[in-house]
Structure 1
Amino acid sequence: MNKKLYVFIGKSRFVMHELHYVLCKRSLEYLKASEDSLNRGLYDVSGVLAQISAELSIKATILFLGYSFPETHEIRKLLSILSSLTLRDEIQNFVKSRRGELILLENARTRGQYLSYGLDREDAEVCLNIAKEIINLMKKIWGNKWCSD
Structure 2
Amino acid sequence: ACPDAHFVIAGRGESLARYRRMMVHPERFEVRDEYIPRADVPRLFQEAALVALPYVEASQSAVVPLAYAFGKPVVASAVGGLPEMVEDGQDGLLVPPRDSDRLAAAIVALLRDDERRRRMQAHIRLKVAGELSWDSIARSTLRVYEESRGEGEG
TM-score (norm 1): 0.30
Pick the structure with more strand per residue. Answer: 2
Pick the structure with more helix per residue. Answer: 1
